[in-house]
Each structure stands twice: as structure tokens, then as C-alpha cells.
Structure 1
Amino acid sequence: MNDVPDECIVLEISGEFAHFRKPSTTSPAQTFGIPPRTTIAGMLAGMLGMERDSYYDLFSHENSSIAVSLESSVRRLSLGINILTTDGPASSPTSGRPGTHITDHRQQTVFEVLCDPVYRVYASLEDETVMDQMEQQFAEGKSTYTLSLGLSEHLATYEYIGRFDVSEHTGRASVRSAVPGEEIDLIPSPEARYVTERSPAFMTTREAGGRKADGWQTLTYERSGDPLDLRETSYAVVNGNAITFS
């Protein structure tokens, strides 16, 4: 699929807290400032009721285009969370519920969380049937599985913005979305706080079962949610907003 599709569906997702764990860190558990592409794919698939590991081809580079913008100034907070190890036998002598046998003491881990985040997601799929399903279901405010921002404890809500045509442009632009690429032609502002993150972009299934990362991308955005001013660049316009797909 081309990086600039013909049309896309737009949602605005928000919550009180979010945590998108960086896989390269352990303690403290740090978070990406915006959801990685793989997380967005998982959100949309869960809202549609798709099973885990069943949707990776649907959201592959060839079959999808995704963009995300930060719509709020996000505050970061570190929280101490007690974690219990529950790996154990299929049945526990101390509980009637399988898999709940506690095998270790509580361990306190520091989690970095994002407070009051708001994201706008632009999604386009090659599969028109799924696009129609998303339009119908999201317009009605339905979600098969509960929507969350990274962790199941961080519940989220969404607003359906609409299904829009996409036009392609080249030139100078103030881009609302995070911009992909190792190098971007940025016009810096002294007041801006720029963030560059390398996050997983695609997933694939393992032959032995499970999943693994199948590609990464580098994204740049402004920490307060302000647009990025770029010189000569290729971009798309959706509902009056300049964005860049990946």
C-alpha cells in the first residue's frame, strides 16, 4: 500500500493514564510518549474483536497506513507499583482458580506513566471490508474489547471523527502528526520541545507460536502537541490537517 492512501478513518483516543513500555529498558519501566504503530494496530484490532496474532498481515506495511498525533501536553509521572509473580501450576492448592498460585514476594517496580494523554489516530487499510466495518462500528461508539492505553489498567475512551479523503502534497508544511524518518527537514523553534523515539512498527507470528517485532520506525513529535514546521517535504492532508503516514 502507498504511504499516502486515498482515504482514512480518524479517531481521537484519550484516557487518564497511559504506558507504552519501551522494550529496551527494565527499571524503571519507561514509556514512549505516543503509542507505537504496533500498539495502534492492537487497539484497532481489539475494538473490532479480532483475536491476538490474527491481524498482523492486515496492518503490515504493504496493507496499511497509520499516522498518530499528540493532541495534548502530556505530563510524565513515576509510580511505584507492587507486582506479584503468579507463574505456577495449572491448579493451586491455595485457590480454586487455576494459574493464581503466587510463587514469589511482592516486588515494587517504578512505572513511568503519561497523565491525561489525547491522541488522534489516522488509519487506512487495503481491506475495504474492514474499513467499512471500522466506519460502521466506530461511528456507533462500539468496541468489542475494552479500549486501554498500553496497560489494561489504563482504560480509555474514543471519539469517532469520521472517514475522510486524503490528498497528497509537497512543500513546506506544519505537520500535526508524528513524523517518521531517521532525518527530517525540521525548521526548529526555540520554544519547542522535540522528542525522537524509535519504536516497533510491525509484528509477525513465530513459527513456534507467539509473535515478534518485524520492523522499527523512528518518529519525531513536539512534546506539547504542537505541529512540526518542515521545509520541502511530502505530506498528506486529512480533514484540513497536514500529517505524514507510515
Structure 2
Amino acid sequence: MTSRQILIFDIWGDYAHFKKIYATTSAVSYAIPPKTSLYGYLGAVLGLSKIDSAYLKTFANKQCLLGISVRNPIVMKRLGVNLRSTLKRVDDSAKPSLVEYVYKPRYRLFVWHQDETVRQELKKAIESHTCVYTPSLGLAGLPSNFEWIGEVTVKAHRSADLVAIHSVIPRKYLLGLEETALLEGSNELIEQSLFAIEMNTDREVTERDDILLDRKGRPIRAQVTEYYPVKEANVILF
């Protein structure tokens, strides 16, 4: 199988908000960043233009594969936020609205890009802790920090056995779960529905899937279609 050069780094912040598409009156958040949101994050680090969503040309059509693992336990908080309908100073329409946030999130990203130039530019930026625009966790007012972990060469593995998976698992890759771990409460599983996977340059989501993860970031023993051994972890790239 073809080998892939994977960049590994952590991102984190005080709060994150990744609005669910089916949220109406209340702004509820996904527990992890959608893949399409991470395209914007990487675009900010690299300084790619947002005009006419030009940055998406760098990531569209599966040019980029990502793995995501949870490094801090998922804690959701709802805070009152004053929202205004205009930018004027005097506005009687301001009222507190409950917004759901991920509190103290930290995620580990595993990034592959088919363009060697893009991959090397991203590696240089993350290693040197520099960025062109400030990356954020879902909203512009939620800035994010990042830290370089390393780079590895990996190949996809396939197995009919249960394997400890250390990243989130898209449903399309999931064949089965270990029942014992579920019955004993070894995992606290969360499912994220209608998770955005791919988006075209018109900002239309072209692929969605349900995502399975452990609330505390513990490995999930599962049978999957394929995975990548990365150092001491097994990761799904999607």
C-alpha cells in the first residue's frame, strides 16, 4: 500500500464552538471540529485567501486527509451571550442567548496532504509556531494555540480483528465494536451526527457522516475497514 507522510500537532483553546447544522433557537456545538472547519484552521495558519472561499481549492476533493483524537475530556458548557442584530452602539434588541461551548478543548491532528509543497509549508509553520492569520476554534473570538508533535511515514492496515483505535471513528469505517467494553463502561461513547466531511468551493457540504468518539479520549476497541498505525496509536484518516 502507498505510504503517507503524516504531520502531527495539537490544537487547543479556552473554549470552542462548532455549531451543529440542525440547531435552530439554541446554538449547540459539536464536541470536535468538523473536518471542513479544520480546512479553515489550516488555511489561516498558511495564509490562504478566504475571498470567494479560495482556500477550499487547496483542500477539496480529498486532497487532504485528517485524523482527530481527543486529548482533554469533553466538557460542554452553556453560557449567556448578548447578541445584537446590528453593529450600532445603541440597540434595544440586545438580549442574552444561551450558547453551548466546548470547555478547555485539546485535540491532536494527524494531517496528510497530497501536495508536498502545502505539506512542507504547513510543517514549517507549525514547527516554528507561526501563522499568517490567527486560527480559531469555530468562532473568530475563540483563538487557538498549537504545538508541533512530529512527522511520521505510515501505511494503511486492514484487519478482521478488533483493534484499539485512538482517534474518532467515522461510521463508514466502522464494522463493529467490542461489546465487553461497552457493557463494563470502559468507554463513554458520543456520536456526532451529520458531521461535515467535505465541502466544495461554493461552500456546499458534499459529504457528511456520523462520528464516534470517547468522551475522555480513551481508545475504542473496534473492527474497522482500515486504520493507520502512528507511533503508539491507531488512527483513522478520513
What TM-score, normalized by structure 1, do the two folds share?
A: 0.86
Q: 3-state DSSP class of the match of 1:133?
A: helix
Q: Paired residue for 1:181?
A: 171
The answer on 1:230 being equivalent to 2:218 is: no
Q: Paired residue for 1:34?
A: 32
Q: In 2, Cα distance between the equivalents of 1:47 and 1:231?
A: 35
Contact conserved, 2:60 with 2:201, CA < 8 A, in 1? no
Indicate the RMSD between aligned Cα atoms, in angstroms.
2.0
Counterparts of residues 142-153 of structure 1 (less than 5 Å):
142-153=130-141
Q: Paired residue for 2:16?
A: 18
Q: CA deviation at 1:132?
A: 0.9
The answer on 1:245 being equivalent to 2:233 is: no
Q: Paired residue for 2:200?
A: 204
- Kindly tell me: are residues 234 and 39 of structure 1, through their superposed partners in 2, closer, same or farther at Cα, counting changes over 3 Å? same
Q: In 1, Cα distance between the equivalents of 2:60 and 2:70?
A: 23
Opposite residue 194 of structure 1, the aligned amino acid is: L
Q: In 2, Cα distance between the equivalents of 1:109 and 1:201?
A: 29
- Kindly tell me: are residues 232 and 202 of structure 1, through their superposed partners in 2, closer, same or farther at Cα, counting changes over 3 Å? closer
Opposite residue 234 of structure 1, the aligned amino acid is: E
Contact conserved, 1:56 with 1:202, CA < 8 A, in 2? no
Q: 3-state DSSP class of the match of 2:12?
A: strand
What TM-score, normalized by structure 2, do the two folds share?
A: 0.89
- Kindly tell me: are residues 138 and 186 of structure 1, through their superposed partners in 2, closer, same or farther at Cα, counting changes over 3 Å? same
Question: Which runs of structure 1 show a deviation greater than 4 angstroms over 4 or more consecutive aligned residues?
Answer: 99-104
Q: In 1, Cα distance between the equivalents of 2:35 and 2:223?
A: 25
Q: How many residues align?
A: 228
Q: 3-state DSSP class of the match of 2:32?
A: coil
Q: Paired residue for 1:78?
A: 78
Opposite residue 30 of structure 1, the aligned amino acid is: V
Q: In 1, Cα distance between the equivalents of 2:234 and 2:111?
A: 14
Instruction: Provide Cα deviations, 1:178-225, integer angstroms capped at 9, x if missing partner.
Output: 01125541114232211111211122233xxxx222221221111111
Q: Paired residue for 1:60?
A: 60
Q: In 2, Cα distance between the equivalents of 1:62 and 1:18?
A: 25
- Kindly tell me: are residues 113 and 184 of structure 1, through their superposed partners in 2, closer, same or farther at Cα, counting changes over 3 Å? farther
Q: In 1, Cα distance between the equivalents of 2:71 and 2:61?
A: 25
Q: In 2, Cα distance between the equivalents of 1:66 and 1:15?
A: 20
Q: Which structure has greater helix proportion?
A: 2
Q: 3-state DSSP class of the match of 1:12?
A: strand
Q: CA deviation at 1:66?
A: 0.9
- Kindly tell me: are residues 66 and 232 of structure 1, through their superposed partners in 2, closer, same or farther at Cα, counting changes over 3 Å? closer
Q: Paired residue for 2:48?
A: 50
Q: In 2, Cα distance between the equivalents of 1:241 and 1:72?
A: 16
Q: 3-state DSSP class of the match of 2:33?
A: coil
Match of 1:116 among 99, 104, 107: 104
Return 5+ residue gaps in structure 1 as ranges: 87-98
Percent of aligned positions that are identical: 24
Opposite residue 148 of structure 2, the aligned amino acid is: Y
Opposite residue 83 of structure 1, the aligned amino acid is: L
- Kindly tell me: are residues 112 and 56 of structure 1, through their superposed partners in 2, closer, same or farther at Cα, counting changes over 3 Å? same
Contact conserved, 1:185 with 1:233, CA < 8 A, in 2? no
Contact conserved, 1:67 with 1:178, CA < 8 A, in 2? yes
Q: In 2, Cα distance between the equivalents of 1:185 and 1:154?
A: 36
- Kindly tell me: are residues 240 and 213 of structure 1, through their superposed partners in 2, closer, same or farther at Cα, counting changes over 3 Å? same
Q: 3-state DSSP class of the match of 2:27?
A: coil
Opposite residue 80 of structure 1, the aligned amino acid is: G
Q: 3-state DSSP class of the match of 1:73?
A: coil
Instruction: Provide Cα deviations, 1:23-46, integer angstroms capped at 9, x if missing partner.
Output: 111222110011000011110111
- Kindly tell me: are residues 78 and 244 of structure 1, through their superposed partners in 2, closer, same or farther at Cα, counting changes over 3 Å? same
